Each structure stands twice: as C-alpha cells, then as structure tokens.
Amino acid sequence: MSQPTPYFVRPTKRCLSDLGLSFPALELPLHQVKDALVAKSQQVPEEVGAGSAERIRAIKDWVWFKVKVSSFRGAVTELDHAVDHGPEIAEAGARWWMGAAGKRQEDSGDDFYRSLKAEVTRAGRGTGSTSSGHLLPAEVDIRRLRAELAVQVTLGINTVVRKAIAASIKTGKVCTATFSHHRIAALVRARDGEAYLAVTAEGFIDPRLLAVILGSVPHVAHSDWLPEPQGEFGIEPEPGQIVYSTIVSAASQAAMMEEFSGEELSDF
C-alpha cells in the first residue's frame, strides 16, 4: 500500500513578520519554526482533504483557509497545480503556504480577519473582486526555499561521506556510497602509527561539490587533503575518478564512529 504524501505548510516571510519572527538558520525548514500557529497550520492540508477546513469567505479571488490557535489566526492556501511555480516548489513539494497571520480581536480595527478583508479589498479595487495574490510566496520566499534545499543537499552529502568512512574504519574495507549522479568510496588504513584516509569521487565533479565532500570529515581542513593521481592504498582511479587522501586523527575517527554508533555499518 502506498503511503500518503507528507504535506507541510510553509509560512511566507510576510507571515513570519506578522508573527514577529524572522527567517531562522537555513538548517531549519520554515514549516518547523517553533511557533504555535505554524505548528497548527500543518493540520490544514489534512483538514481540507477531510472536508473540515473553514474557508475565509471574505477572500473571493482565491481559496484561503482559516487556522486558529489561542487568539492567533492565519490564512493558508494551496498553490495551483496547473501553474508552474518553479523547480524549487516542485522539488520540495512546497504546495501549501500560510500567507498572513495576526490576532483575532472582535470589534477591533486590529482584528485579523477585518484587517485582511480590508487589505485584499484595497488590492482588488477596480477589479470587482478581492485580490490576494500578494499573500502568495514572493521571490524572497523562493530564494529562501532554494537556499534550504542547497543546505539539505550539503548536509545529506556530509552524512553519506562520514558514514562511508565510519564503515571503513569498522570493516577495514573500501566502502562505497552513491548519491545523485556521483559515487564516493572511502578507505581508512593504518600506516606508521597513523590512520590514513583515501576518498574517491566519481562522476562530474563540480569544484563546489568536491569541496563539500572533502569538508565532510571532522577535524580535517581542506588544505590537509592531497590529490593522489596514482591512487592510494590500492585504490586505483579509473577514468572520471579523483582520489584524495589525508591523515585522519583519532578524534576525527571517534567523532564519526560516535555519530553512527547505533547504525549498522558492516553492510554499508
């Protein structure tokens, strides 16, 4: 049986500003921001699917749904599937967004729904309807998503490389991992009382990607790596391969073994 698609709701920069928040570190996806309204908004896609979500009726030009927690309110929508919103949206599956937020204060000019209705009415003046397009993700939101995806790729490569090295430390064998269109092989060998590490990178090696691979090893600076055109420890480079080697300290080895201490490495 196939698993349901894991939907998530990202707050826009406008929404974060409404909540008095700023963009967090890139390692934290926006839908995981520590905020009660953002957390509650994650339930909206499921509520929509179940037919229990409440629409914001004051917005006529697009379907926006209410999200409520305590005295806070938000407006959540799903992007149009028929429109190409760019590769970042497609890659991340970022279909759902919360475009605005505020406090529910009935009989007050600062009430979220009252203010939102006035805002979209002004934006739609002369059209005969409301206009809420400005609440959809803007260029700044796409740039943030793009940066998050880049960080996720980097962190994923870092993890794969370190795990391959940890597996080699444990087994004494060449351990290979494949990601995207690239393949790396790691081998750790003891020599003259020190441990040496050789890493083979295969595929189209963008210098930035190579920097990420070599930067994955804790306590090892980029300047500590040396190219080994003739191979190292029996790793003979084939066409399209690059072999780099370095000395890996006991602290570095211990850090990687600790990171994957609860995982199976023998079959890596």
41 φ, ψ (degrees, to nearest 5): -65, -20
Q: What is the pLDDT of residue 1?
A: 38
Q: What is the pTM of this model?
A: 0.78
Contact partners, residue 98, CB within 8 Å, separation at least 6: 9, 10, 11, 12, 15, 37, 38, 41, 67, 74, 75, 76
Average pLDDT over residues 63-75: 97
Residue 236 pLDDT > 70: no
Mean pLDDT of 250-265: 87
pLDDT confidence of residue 268: 63
Highest mean pLDDT among 4-8, 40-44, 219-223: 40-44
Give residue 222's pLDDT.
Answer: 87
* Average pLDDT score, the chain: 87
Residues 6 or more apart from 66 whose CB is under 8 A from it?
Answer: 53, 54, 55, 56, 73, 74, 75, 76
pLDDT at 82: 84
pLDDT-derived band at 2, boundaries 50, 70, 90: very low
Q: Is pLDDT at 23 greater than 70 in this prediction?
A: yes
Give the model's pLDDT for residue 6.
74
Residue 231's pLDDT band, with cuts at 50, 70 and 90, is: low
Average pLDDT over residues 109-133: 94
How confident is the model over 89-103, as a mean pLDDT?
Answer: 95
Q: Which residues of 76-87 are buried (b: 16+ CB within 10 A; e: fewer)?
A: bbbeeeeeeeee
Place of tokens 């004494």: 172
**Whether pLDDT at 229 is above 60:** no
Q: What is the β-pairing status of strands 226-227 and 65-69?
A: unpaired
**pLDDT surpasses 70 at 233:** no
Higher pLDDT, 41 or 84: 41
Q: Is the pLDDT of residue 245 over 80?
A: yes
Region 112-138: mean pLDDT is: 96
Tell me: pLDDT of 113 over 70.
Answer: yes
How large a percentage of the chain has pLDDT more than 70? 88
Q: What is the mean predicted confidence (pLDDT) over 4-30?
A: 92
- Lowest-confidence segment of 86-95, 107-116, 128-137, 178-187 by average pLDDT: 178-187
Distance CA 202, CA 59 (A): 53
Chain segment 177-227, per-residue pLDDT in tens: 877 667 788 888 876 656 777 777 766 567 888 888 889 999 989 899 888
Lowest mean pLDDT among 47-51, 131-135, 167-171, 264-268: 264-268
